[in-house]
Amino acid sequence: DDDDDDDDDDDSDDDDDDSEDEDDDSEDDGDSESDDDEEEEEEAPKVTRKGGVEIREVQDNKKVGDKRPAEKTAAKAPEPKKQAKVEAPPAKKPDVPKRVHKNGMEIINTFATKNTGAKVAQGGKKVAMKYIGKLPSGKIFDQTKGGANFTFRLGVGEVIKGWDVGVEGMREGDKRTLIIPAAMGYGKKGIKGVIPGGSALHFDVELVKVF
């Protein structure tokens, strides 16, 4: 019988321990629930009333140390370098052939036609010319004007010797400059009021037509 009583005592003790554990668990659950309530209360916005107006204070969840990332400024494209202007070297003038005769006459070919079928001025042929006659000072003393041409027969003495020599060999369309000494022009006498005696003459001539 004593043994039975001891067993009953042990069982009661176990029951008491289980109840105590349950009580502890319930207390823990109560504590956790209360903690959650406190957290919810902390997160809830503070509401005040002033003059019939409800004011809610909302906390900024951002940390004080947080800063917005600095906006990246667009990199400025480098300005293209100005290229130094390279000036083309001046075009070299083609060498103009010259022909010097006795008595100091000079013939300068200023333009040569590309027309291979153009007629050539030869002694005895009739030719039509355009010209400008100038003194060494540059003063013009005679010239053809407008559509007028000067016509003569080449090589028979109808014009001064400088012309007979200077025009021969030209093709229709050719241009020349004739620098004629006084000996092949109007000599020592010249032309009164027009060409001084002993003066050289400059003629820019163009062969228009060979008849």
- Cα within 13 Å of Cα(8), Cβ side: 5
DSSP characters for 100-150? E-GGG-EEEEEE----TT--B--TT-EEEEEEEEE-TTS-EEEE--TT--E
Average pLDDT of the chain, as a whole number: 77
For the residues 105-131, what does the mean pLDDT come to?
95
55-81: pLDDT as tens digits: 666 555 554 445 555 555 556 666 766
- Distance CA(144)–CA(205), nearest Å, equals 10
Which residues on neighbouring strands pair with residue 175, listed in sequence order? Answer: 111, 206
Residue 173: exposed, middle, or buried by beta-carbon count in 10 A (0-12, 13-18, 19+)? Answer: middle
- Greater confidence (81 vs 126) lies with 126
Return phi, psi of residue 20, to 5°: -65, -40
What is the pLDDT confidence band of residue 103, given thresholds at 50, 70 and 90? confident
